[in-house]
Chains A and B, each alone.
Chain A
Amino acid sequence: EAQVTQNPRYLITVTGKKLTVTCSQNMNHEYMSWYRQDPGLGLRQIYYSMNVEVTDKGDVPEGYKVSRKEKRNFPLILESPSPNQTSLYFCASSLVRQVTDTQYFGPGTRLTVL
């Protein structure tokens, strides 16, 4: 089944404790991205990647890092999480030639930073 998976689905952590949210897709998509969703602010893109070893900042990249060592995986790293990073996070993928076409979303990771 074609899908985007994220882990963990729920995470509660404390300020400053490094964490990684994994994202994997099995559709051979070149383009992958991370969004955060906050009430009243909608979905905002954090980082995106057009292909292996190619990553770029989205609209709200501060406090986040990403890597793209393999085509299928695109982990989101929070080196020193802060409470303002409490949010619902989504990974998404698509074909690179259709970056603004259909996006396939993961199930989401609900992160709480205390």
Chain B
Amino acid sequence: SQQGEEDPQALSIQEGENATMNCSYKTSINNLQWYRQNSGRGLVHLILIRSNEREKHSGRLRVTLDTSKKSSSLLITASRAADTASYFCATDAVRIQGAQKLVFGQGTRLTINP
């Protein structure tokens, strides 16, 4: 079953507006990450927030984590056309054999209109 699921699946806003994407997960985590993927390209790591953190900033990005609700949000302020991409959350999980792995959600497709 999916560990991380993003909401909404697609988001279209005007340049300059703020964009908010949400991620929900099912089991307890050690950390949660957000990645960006430009169309057909590799994923690029944006930010990592650990389970004992509630908020983290990086430039125009703000990530919050609510472990009681098992959810996270990614806020992009003052959006630009270059922010057009898909955004994925990834959470750590444990395999049946005990090894760790990352589980990615299906992503939010963000379009910034000029």
Contact = CB atoms under 8 A, between A and B. Distances in A.
Interface of A: 4, 40-43, 45, 48, 56, 58-59, 88, 90, 92, 99-108, 110
Contacts, number: 57
A105 B42 CA distance: 6
A43 B101 contact: no
A56 B48 CA distance: 25
B87 interface: no
Interface of B is mostly: strand
B38 to A, nearest CB: 10
A42 B105 contact: yes
A108 B42 contact: yes
Nearest to A35: B104
Given A40-B106, A102-B48, A90 B43 contact: yes
Interface size class of B (residues with CB under 8 A): 20 to 34
Nearest to A101: B48
A107 B101 contact: no
A107 B107 CA distance: 18
9 contacts: A48-B101, A92-B43, A99-B99, A99-B100, A100-B100, A102-B33, A102-B45, A102-B48, A107-B41
B78 interface: no
